[in-house]
Amino acid sequence: RVTQVTLYKEDDKIMEDLIPTLALTNLFRCFSTEELSVLLKKEHYHVKRYAKGAVIHLQNEKCVSLDIVLHGTVLVQKIDSNGDMLTLCSFMAGDSIGENLLFSRNNPYPMTMTAKSDTDILHADRTLILSLCQNSSGFLENFLQSISDKTLILAGKINTLSMKTIRQCMIEFLLYEYRIQKSTTIRLEVSKKELAEKFGIQRPSLSRELMKMRNENLITFDAKSITIRDMKALKRLHTD
């Protein structure tokens, strides 16, 4: 299937929708809607709509813009030497992409980015971002904070991927979600296929491990949730 990319023209309707959305993002929250209206009369940015499945950036493509997700979801993915699809992370509406690469001397995207659903993205080039950093201390602070946050996300992912077994990955995931959801029944916001991709493994490998853990009375599960049956055992296995 051929995926579609649409370049928006700068008309009044697009600007009407764009400014309130940008004002809610972490990077641009320091500006009022009136200030954004003035800023966005300048050049050095464009907005594109990517159809579901479209490639937004290819691995090793040079980063030339800071991207703001206005609508939809972006997946950051890589196919390893075994042919397994690894999903490093996803970006939702309001998230920014590329601030850790834009001003680097060596700045290719390390992984491919695709649209999980129909997705609108604002691409702001280096000139605009540099000007905003020089003229707005609030934007500069938000920009540096975003770079720091991306570093923590990457460190957390590396820590997860460095674990030796699928079971350790699964236990880490369950205990994390237990803390977030405050329930031993973990609602799955992604499919098991997508969960397997997050761990960098194939779907059948995850299914086998889940069945083993169920047979050992550690968990039960269905299509939409996983329930922890033996919390003490999971915590013990996590610290071993």
Question: What kind and span of H or E run contains 71?
Answer: strand 65-71
Report the pLDDT averaged over residues 122-127.
91
Beta strands, E only, 72-115? 74-79, 85-91, 96-97, 112-115
Interval 81-93: pLDDT, tens: 555 667 778 899 9
Interval 14-65: pLDDT, tens: 556 788 888 888 899 999 988 888 887 767 888 899 998 888 998 889 999 9
Residue 13: per-residue pLDDT? 55
Q: Which residue has the tokens 């009136």?
A: 34
Alpha-carbon span 204 to 197, nearest angstrom = 11
Mean pLDDT (the chain) is 84
Alpha-carbon span 53 to 137, nearest angstrom = 37
Q: What is the pTM of this model?
A: 0.65
